[in-house]
């Protein structure tokens, strides 16, 4: 499936799940910041992606869970090198450039963009 086709389907899912306008769903838009997604919306989006694309999403596969609350991976409000490695392993669809430049915990949500979601689906479809 072409990346543009994946984007179109994801745009439709996000408009439905987050009650946003389709022109708000751009590649750069962050789900939690720009589109107002809450944790439960991530579950909703996972369900909708599974239905649309026919693959299974394991818990924590789409968005990292627990890492930013774990003192092993966060120190003084910043993700540690160990935490960053784990994030890269758990959620390889994220673009880590911004987080590497400033590893503040709040930046983890900022790198969860629509583009990361498209990459996630692309990788899942390729692996299937």
Partner 1 sequence: MRWMWIDRIVELVPKERMVAIKQISLAEEHLHDHFPSTPTRRAMPVMPMSLIVEGMAQTAGVLVGHAEGFKEKVVLAKVSKAKIDRDATPGCTLRYTATIEQFTAAGASTTGIVELIEPTAKGEPKAEVIGQIDLIFSHLDQNMGGVEYPEENFVFSESFKTLMETSGIEANF
The residues that touch partner 1, with contacts defined as CB under 8 A, are: 17, 39-44, 46-47, 50-51, 59-60, 63, 65-66, 69
Least spacing, CB of residue 97 vs partner 1, in Å: 24
Taking each helix axis as running N to C, give the angle between helix 114-127 and helix 39-53, from 0 to 180 degrees, rounded to the nearest 10. Answer: 40
From the CB of 51, what's the least distance to partner 1, in Å? 7
SS3 sequence of 49-69 = HHHHHCCCCCCCCCCCCCHHH
Q: Which is nearer to partner 1, 52 or 100 (CB)?
A: 52
Judged by beta carbon, residue 42 or residue 79, the one nearer partner 1 is: 42
* Pick 63 or 94: Cβ nearer partner 1: 63
Instruction: State the minimum distance, in angstroms, from the CB of residue 46 to partner 1.
Output: 8
Tell me how far apart the alpha carbons of residues 81 and 43 are, in angstroms, rounded to a whole number.
28
Give the separation between CA 17 and CA 106, rounded to whole angstroms: 23
Cβ-based nearer residue to partner 1, 41 or 100: 41
Residue 74 CA to residue 83 CA, distance in Å, equals: 7
Residues 113, 27 contacting (CB under 8 angstroms): yes
Q: CB 93 → partner 1: shortest distance, Å? A: 17
């Amino acid at each position: 499936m072409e990346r543009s086709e994946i984007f179109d389907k994801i745009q439709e899912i996000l408009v439905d799940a987050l009650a946003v306008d389709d022109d708000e769903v751009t590649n750069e838009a962050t789900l939690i910041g720009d589109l107002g997604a809450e944790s439960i919306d991530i579950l909703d989006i996972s369900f909708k992606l599974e239905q649309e694309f026919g693959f299974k999403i394991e818990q924590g596969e789409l968005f990292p869970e627990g890492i930013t609350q774990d003192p092993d991976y966060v120190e003084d409000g910043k993700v540690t090198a160990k935490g960053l490695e784990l994030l890269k392993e758990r959620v390889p669809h994220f673009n880590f450039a911004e987080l590497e430049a400033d590893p503040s915990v709040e930046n983890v949500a900022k790198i969860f963009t629509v583009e990361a979601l498209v990459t996630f689906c692309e990788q899942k479809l390729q692996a299937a």
